[in-house]
């Protein structure tokens, strides 16, 4: 299995696990839920060996999450940033 797919699958598990710690009505839960949808879509594209179409730039991650969430979840932020960066690099080289 492709290393990036494995990272994505691991990231999905981490996000799902983190989601359980936050109330469903919280802004962190909402942002993580959207991040989960994006990562799942990217992994599906990678698995299907189809064109990579997601526009979730790692450079937008600070804005997407907000400073308070980045400070609250720094390890998860780093994982998401790394995955988005690797996906973007693969997309640019397809």
pLDDT of residue 94: 86
Q: Distance (Å, rounded) from C-alpha 67 to C-alpha 48?
A: 34
pLDDT in tens, 26-70: 999 999 999 999 999 999 999 999 999 999 888 888 888 888 899
**What is the reported pTM?**
0.92
Query: Is pLDDT at 1 greater than 70 in this prediction?
Result: no
Can you give the residue ranges of every domain in the chain? 3-92
pLDDT of residue 14: 98
Contact assessment for residue 92 and residue 55, using Cβ atoms and an 8 Å cutoff: no
pLDDT band at 12 (very low <50, low <70, confident <90, very high): very high
Query: Is pLDDT at 77 greater than 80 in this prediction?
Result: yes
pLDDT of residue 71: 93
């Amino acid at each position: 299995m492709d290393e990036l797919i494995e990272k994505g699958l691991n990231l999905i598990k981490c996000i799902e696990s983190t989601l359980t710690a936050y109330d469903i009505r919280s802004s962190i839960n909402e942002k993580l839920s959207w991040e989960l949808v994006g990562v799942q879509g990217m992994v599906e594209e990678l698995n299907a060996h189809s064109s990579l179409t997601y526009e979730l730039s790692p450079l937008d991650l600070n804005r997407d999450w907000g400073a308070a969430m980045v400070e609250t979840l720094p390890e998860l932020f780093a994982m998401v940033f790394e995955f988005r960066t690797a996906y973007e690099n693969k997309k640019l080289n397809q």
